[in-house]
Amino acid sequence: MAEIWRTSNGISWEPVVQYGFLRTNGYIWRLTVYGNKLIAGTMNPFTGCEIWMSETGDFGTFEQMNIHGMDGAMSLPANLGAFIDRDDGPIVPWADQYGVRTVANYQGNLIVGTASWGDWVDRMLSQQTDGNWHDLSGYVGCEIWSTDGTLWTPPETVEVNKTVWDPVAQSWVHELEAPLGDTVRFRCEIKNIGLEDLTNIVVWDFLSHSLEYADDATIEPTCNVEDVLGFGTLLKWDLSSYTLTPGNSIVIKYDANVIEKEHKEVNFVFARGKCGSYWDYEWDYAVINPTLIPTVTSSNVTGVETDSFDLSEDVYCYAKNLPANRWVDIYVVKNNDTWEEGTVLIDVINGIETVKTQPDRSLQNTLIWESTLMQGSYDIVIDTNQNGKWNEGEPIDSLATTGFDAVPEFTTIAIPVAAILGLLFFFNRRKQRK
């Protein structure tokens, strides 16, 4: 999102605007000074251009001067790919007057010239489609506006809140760590904080590429588009049949699976609605940080980590950071120091353990092999997707070394060893006598 920074010496800089004024403002297209005030004009094809003013330029002092998109068209249909000059992706509505393209101080008034999204899309996409593109610029175009600098305060109408369920804290949070293979549950609340009914409500929810939609939605989406421009999944809820009276909310909950674990991912939700004659948009986000590393550890009956067992001992294990409330299979397999994706799991005792993980993603101390054991070196594998194969991200004790050893108890080994030492001593004495 767009930012504004300032400096007094060209060396040390400080931000005065961050995260696009907490809106979907991609660029600060124009900056000017008018009436001893700093004026910033934005580019925002989703909700329309915005003009912000500050008397000091200090952080937190900017106030919006205009209605979103100069109160222009808010539903121009175009592919989502149009945002990056491409003719693909789902059709979504755009704001027409999407950018403050030029500004001037003329005869004591602030003059603003806007850019038309419909005209830009037509010029870009008509070339790519050999002219086979619906004419958006036929009824829209650039505009010129004038103001005496009087501050306009946008009415507060829509409030959006996106959270994700934390099974450990048992609460809805804005940021969550989740292991690969976990299923997370999102909650999107759209609330009318205005003074009039909120109508024509549409919600767009964007899931990053590390997540996949897993259904179980409290309100089924009217559109589900996967692999949007290679960035993720776009969900849409057309709630135009709903009317939200002041103070009331609509809540949407749904599940998503964690399918990648490389990056912290920000997942956005946008909501649009009309309150009286005024269109308003708001957005929020929840962060999934898929960096929890699941582990499994061999242990004895008391839950103490143990890497070596007598053949007469029972083998247990415990685990952490597994998908919560999930049935999983536990395998004891021969030691393998070179695990590869898709390796078939063969349990050495022909009896895998199937257990359910705890809400806090743990697995309590669990019996996995009753004595008598077979001598050897072994690994423990938890098959979280129960497909009978090892997949990346599933815990192994241990990935590159032996998980645990099953060895005869000391007295069983000591007797033959003592006999051999005795014979060596006997022959050595005979040799000395000769």
Instruction: Kindly indicate the confidence band of residue 20, based on its pLDDT and cuts at 50, 70 and 90.
Output: confident
Report the 10 Å Cβ neighbour count for 9: 6
Provide the token pair at 382.
């938890």
Higher pLDDT, 82 or 235: 235
Mean pLDDT of 269-275: 87
Share of the chain above pLDDT 70, in %: 81
Q: Lowest mean pLDDT: which of 66-75, 241-250, 266-275?
A: 66-75
The CA distance from 297 to 316, in Å, is 9
pLDDT of 433 strictly over 50 = no
Mean pLDDT of 72-95: 66
Task: Find the farthest-apart pair of alpha carbons in the chain and give their distance in angstroms, rounded.
Answer: 126
The CA distance from 309 to 300, in Å, is 8
The CA distance from 110 to 93, in Å, is 29
Please tell us whether the domain made up of 295-409 is placed in CATH 2.60.40.10: no
Cα atoms in the 13 Å half-sphere on the side-chain side of 308: 4
pLDDT of residue 125: 62
pLDDT of residue 229: 58
Classify strands 175-177 and 278-289 as parallel, antiparallel or unpaired.
parallel
149-153 long-range Cβ contacts below 8 angstroms, 24+ apart: 149/34, 149/35, 149/37, 149/53, 149/65, 149/109, 149/110, 151/53, 151/63, 151/65, 152/64, 152/65, 152/66, 152/67, 153/63, 153/64
Instruction: Kindly indicate the confidence band of residue 179, based on its pLDDT and cuts at 50, 70 and 90.
Output: confident
| Mean pLDDT of the chain, nearest integer | 83
pLDDT of 430 strictly over 70 = no
Query: SS3 of 20, please?
Result: helix
* pLDDT, tens digit, 9 for 90 and up, residues 187-231: 999 999 988 999 999 998 988 888 889 989 999 888 777 666 566
Torsion 414-415-420-424 (CA) sign: positive
* pLDDT, tens digit, 9 for 90 and up, residues 386-421: 999 998 889 999 877 788 999 987 544 444 555 555
The CA distance from 404 to 298, in Å, is 7
Residues 196-214 as b or e (16 or more Cβ within 10 Å = b): eebbbbbbbbbbbbbbebe
First to last CA, the chain: 94
Instruction: Kindly indicate the confidence band of residue 379, based on its pLDDT and cuts at 50, 70 and 90.
Output: very high
Judge contact between 232 and 211, C-beta under 8 A: yes
* pLDDT, tens digit, 9 for 90 and up, residues 115-143: 887 776 776 666 665 655 556 666 567 88
Cα 45-46-48 angle, rounded to 5 deg: 60
pLDDT of 422 strictly over 80 = no
Cα 175-166-385 angle, rounded to 5 deg: 105
Going from N- to C-terminal start, the domains of the chain cover: 4-147, 158-289, 295-409
pLDDT of residue 232: 79
pLDDT of 423 strictly over 60 = no
pLDDT of residue 262: 61
Radius of gyration, CA atoms only, the chain: 32
Higher pLDDT, 164 or 324: 164
**DSSP code per residue over 268-282:** EEEEEEEETTEEEEE
158-289, what's its fold?
A: Immunoglobulin-like (2.60.40)
Q: Please determine whether the domains at 158-289 and 295-409 fall in the same fold group of CATH.
A: yes
The CA distance from 111 to 350, in Å, is 80
The CA distance from 102 to 193, in Å, is 34
pLDDT of residue 38: 93
The CA distance from 25 to 17, in Å, is 11
* pLDDT, tens digit, 9 for 90 and up, residues 326-344: 899 999 999 998 899 999 9
